[in-house]
Amino acid sequence: MIGQKNTHRRLMRVGQMLKLFLEKERVTTATLSREFHTTPRTIQRDLSFLKQCGFPVSEAGPGVYRLDKDIFKNFELFDENELALIVALKCAVSQLGQPFQKAADEVFNRLYQATASQPIYIHVDESVPLDARLMSRLLKAIRNKRRVSFHYASVNSHPATVSPYKIVHYDGFWYLVAKEDGTGIIKRYAMDKLKELKMLPTNYAAAPKDLDELLRQSANIWFCEERNLEVVIEVNKKAADYFKRRKIFPTQELRKEKPDGSLIVIFKVGNYEEIRDILKAWLPNARILNPENMKKSFAAELRNWLLWQESSIVNHQAT
């Protein structure tokens, strides 16, 4: 808790420090020390921290520093809290290495060039809160190819020893993709359920070469190494245009357009769970044609939901 408070104070301080750099051509350590009621040594550490995070801070003379503002074209749009967040993000990305750092730099460059009048808004769903220390330790284990153990506090709580391959983000949740000892199965573990993480002294071989491609071809965390199952649906005319304009699943194939404007669409999946919830979002404008067992289980699930919903209506009327 104390460590989190110290980190928060430091980020806020360097955010305010960036604001001063943007307002002035040059800033002295003495000025910063007085401004933030701290020692010159602390200010020196903060300046080093900014440099490590990729901010172009340079010494213009003894105890005098400047910030290269060429890449900060519109930073006057950001307040101190937002600047502190940008510092935190750049610091986190700097620990991921290539190619993440290169990709992040391109994103930040576009951010720097943004203006308040740009007619674009992108909504990103809020993620489950993540322990930064846990993330850092897992990244270190992955970089060094070290096996880890932890207690997985899921519905079926259990200990696990794994070879960690990747940290991935789907639908607002962070997951560890790792090969389980004993079974050799590649599994996904929700990171907010990892407890008592320990880095083990033993190493593992490299992650499967096709893992990145497997993740790219996945719409959610229910990915599988082989997609040998086929799901066939019919989409009515009302929703057909959406399926023509974009894929709702990476392996989507438009098989047939019927005279009434409806579509026959096919998906290749490795697990029916991959597509089940995605299809629910398209009710009542889509129906499952095959496989028969999925069609029946889907219908049974909806019937049970209707009974549950109707019981809520009856209970409400009774009260």
pLDDT level of residue 114 (50, 70, 90 thresholds): low
E strands present in the chain? 27-28, 57-61, 64-67, 146-152, 158-170, 173-180, 186-190, 194-203, 229-235, 253-257, 263-269, 286-290
Higher pLDDT, 215 or 251: 251
pLDDT at 94: 61
What pLDDT is attached to residue 106? 64
Q: Cα separation of 216 and 213, whole Å?
A: 5
Cβ contact 176:137 at 8 Å: no
**With bands split at pLDDT 50, 70 and 90, how would you rate the model's confidence at 74?**
low
What does CATH list as the number for 132-209? 2.30.30
Per-residue exposure over 144-183, b if at least 16 CB sit within 10 Å of its own CB, e if not: eebbbebebeeeeeeebebbbbbbbeeeebbbbbbbeeee
Report the first-to-last Cα separation within the chain, whole angstroms. 46
Task: Tell me the domain boundaries of the chain.
Answer: 2-112, 132-209, 229-312
The pLDDT tens digits for 136-195 are: 899 899 999 999 999 999 888 899 999 999 888 887 788 999 999 988 888 889 999 999
Report how far residue 74's alpha carbon sits from residue 72's, in angstroms, rounded to the nearest whole number.
6
The pLDDT assigned to 294 comes to 94
Domain 2-112 classified CATH 3.40.50.720? no
Q: Which of 17-31, 40-54, 208-222 has the lowest mean pLDDT?
A: 208-222
pLDDT of amino acid 49: 82
Instruction: Tell me the pLDDT tens digit for each residue of 88-101.
Output: 666 666 665 555 66
Provide the pLDDT confidence category of residue 225 given band limits of 50, 70 and 90.
low
Q: Check residue 314 and give its pLDDT.
A: 72
* Spatial distance between the Cα atoms of 120 and 192, rounded to a whole number of angstroms: 32
Q: What pLDDT, on a 0 to 100 scale, did the predictor assign at position 124?
A: 59
Considering the segment(s) 229-312 as one domain, its CATH architecture is 2-Layer Sandwich (3.30)
Q: What is the DSSP string of 93-142?
A: HHTT-TTHHHHHHHHHHHHHT--TT-------PPPPP--HHHHHHHHHHH
Task: Give me the phi and psi of 302, to 5 degrees please.
Answer: -70, -35
**What is the tens place of the pLDDT at every residue in 235-282?**
999 999 999 998 988 889 999 999 999 999 999 988 888 899 899 999
Sheet holding 263-269, edge to edge: 253-257, 263-269, 229-235, 286-290
Q: Is the pLDDT of residue 298 over 70?
A: yes
| Residue 241, pLDDT score | 95
Q: What is the pLDDT of residues 31-49, one digit of tens each?
A: 888 888 889 899 888 888 8
